[in-house]
């Protein structure tokens, strides 16, 4: 969760156990039972207990069609393949954000053929030139962390992550883009270190904050909601009366409509073993105080986790591509119209004849200045091959 970049790979049934563990699950390769059970790390989920979960009333929102004066969506993919080592090589589970006129990318895994990356890259969104950035005092190599940009501080906020052996210890850092300096954050940090979601919320009731939710750790899933105050450099736990069920690898974004809110879609409450995985397709909104489930109206993406997603701030549309439900990956393209609160599946075309292949664990960002999205790499079945291809998506060419 803007314009984008990043990348990601499997084999036979025997490989399923190993790869699913590595694919941003909370379990360690050396101990498949670690993290298999949920942790009651937050308030009881009202949806699970039969309580009123504060479902939003669909009749209170304008669910009409988009302004007829707006041209219909006509998405086009344009290939923009980079060549290592000038550009980042193949990887998956990396995270990327837009910081001014460039995209910042950190980490990622080349499993099973390569190592976990401790690399920080910058893509100039105007010239499309890549450049490595400073790693002095940078966190250890990792993937499946969460990342967001703090515009007032010109900092990238990084939380959690895992390596090839399993969840890393709790940790959070900021990277100051102008000076290329890293700084660790002390005190309490979120427990869900794998597959958490983090977004910048300029409209938060207490002032601009980053909001963090979900993820898995060594002891299971975390369903607490946290805010990060960039002035005080500290996290606080938000005690909500309702909460989404536990999950990791959900898609999360900031939506400026409806007074400003955080949107959360999908993820998975269980990823191991893959044949009994529990991907989700629920949609939630957080207003800075409490969560409320948005009822299903009309079509929506099938249950999945780790789709590439980014919010089009020019049109108030949340775009999602791909994702996985463990047994297979998706290659579909969806848009969530925030104003009308409806999903729409898009039929896309490509200048090269075919668009990006089905994948998950890719990075995707929106470049508002150029009105285009960028996709890089991902994780592709059946051999869990890390991808290195790059694509640009234009919704209305």
Nearest CA among 264, 270, 263, 276 for reference residue 247:
270
Q: How far apart are CA 132 and CA 364, in angstroms?
A: 19
Instruction: Report domain extents, the chain.
Output: 13-48+84-343
Q: Taking 90 as the threshold, does the pLDDT of residue 342 lie above it?
A: yes
Q: Taking 60 as the threshold, does the pLDDT of residue 12 lie above it?
A: no
DSSP string, 374-396: EEEEEEETTTTEEEEEEEEEES-
Q: How far apart are CA 225 and CA 178, in angstroms?
A: 30
Task: Quickly state the pLDDT bin for 273 (edges 50, 70, 90).
Answer: confident
The per-residue pLDDT for 26 is 56
Section 56-72 average pLDDT: 46
The per-residue pLDDT for 85 is 65
Nearest CA among 150, 118, 137, 217 for reference residue 182:
137
* 156 DSSP β-pair partners: 149, 175
The per-residue pLDDT for 128 is 87
In this prediction, what percent of the chain has a pLDDT beyond 90? 66
Section 171-189 average pLDDT: 97
Please tell me the least confidently modeled range out of 8-12, 177-181, 214-218: 8-12
Task: Quickly state the pLDDT bin for 215 (edges 50, 70, 90).
Answer: very high
Please tell me the least confidently modeled range out of 55-59, 105-109, 261-265: 55-59
Q: How far apart are CA 328 and CA 322, in angstroms?
A: 10
The structure's pTM equals: 0.84
CA angle 392/395/253 to nearest 5° reads 80
Q: Tell me whether residue 275 is exposed, middle or buried, using C-beta atoms within 10 angstroms of its C-beta: 0 to 12, 13 to 18, 19 or more.
A: exposed
Average pLDDT, the chain: 84
State how far Cα 20 lies from the chain centre. Answer: 18
**Residues in the chain, total:** 397
Q: How far apart are CA 389 and CA 332, in angstroms?
A: 17
Nearest CA among 145, 268, 116 for reference residue 212:
145
Query: What is the third-level CATH fold of 13-48+84-343?
Result: Neuraminidase (2.120.10)
């Amino acid at each position: 969760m803007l314009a984008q970049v990043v990348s990601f790979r499997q084999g036979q049934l025997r490989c399923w156990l190993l790869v699913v563990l590595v694919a941003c699950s909370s379990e360690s390769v050396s101990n498949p039972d670690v993290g298999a059970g949920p942790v009651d790390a937050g308030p009881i989920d009202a949806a699970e207990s039969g309580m009123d979960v504060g479902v939003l009333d669909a009749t209170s929102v304008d669910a009409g069609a988009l302004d007829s004066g707006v041209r219909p969506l006509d998405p086009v993919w344009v290939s923009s393949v980079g060549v290592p080592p000038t550009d980042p090589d193949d990887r998956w589970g990396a995270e990327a954000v837009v910081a001014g006129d460039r995209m910042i990318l950190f980490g990622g895994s080349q499993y099973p053929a390569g190592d976990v990356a401790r690399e920080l890259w910058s893509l100039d969104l105007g010239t499309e030139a890549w450049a490595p950035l400073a790693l002095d005092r940078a966190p250890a190599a990792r993937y499946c962390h969460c990342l967001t940009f703090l515009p007032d501080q010109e900092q990238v906020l990084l939380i959690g992550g895992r390596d090839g052996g399993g969840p890393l210890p709790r940790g959070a850092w900021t990277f100051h883009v102008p000076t290329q300096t890293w700084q660790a954050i002390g005190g309490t940090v979120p427990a869900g270190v794998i597959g958490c979601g983090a977004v910048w919320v300029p409209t938060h009731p207490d002032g601009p904050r980053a909001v963090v939710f979900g993820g898995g750790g060594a002891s299971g899933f975390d369903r607490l909601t946290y805010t990060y105050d960039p002035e005080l450099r500290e996290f606080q736990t938000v005690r909500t009366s309702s909460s989404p069920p536990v999950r990791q690898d959900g898609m999360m974004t900031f939506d400026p409509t409806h007074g400003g809110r955080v949107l959360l879609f999908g993820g998975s409450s269980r990823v191991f073993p893959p044949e009994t995985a529990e991907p989700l397709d629920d949609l939630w909104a957080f207003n800075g105080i409490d969560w409320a489930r948005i009822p299903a109206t009309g079509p929506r993406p099938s249950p999945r986790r780790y789709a590439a997603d980014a919010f089009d701030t020019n049109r108030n549309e949340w775009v999602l591509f791909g994702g996985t439900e463990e047994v297979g990956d998706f290659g579909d393209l969806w848009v969530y119209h925030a104003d009308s609160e409806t999903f729409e599946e898009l039929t896309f075309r490509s200048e090269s004849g075919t668009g990006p292949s089905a994948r998950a664990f890719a990075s995707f960002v929106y470049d508002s200045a150029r009105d285009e999205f960028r996709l890089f790499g991902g994780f592709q079945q059946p051999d869990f091959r890390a991808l290195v291809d790059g694509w640009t998506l234009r919704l209305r060419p």
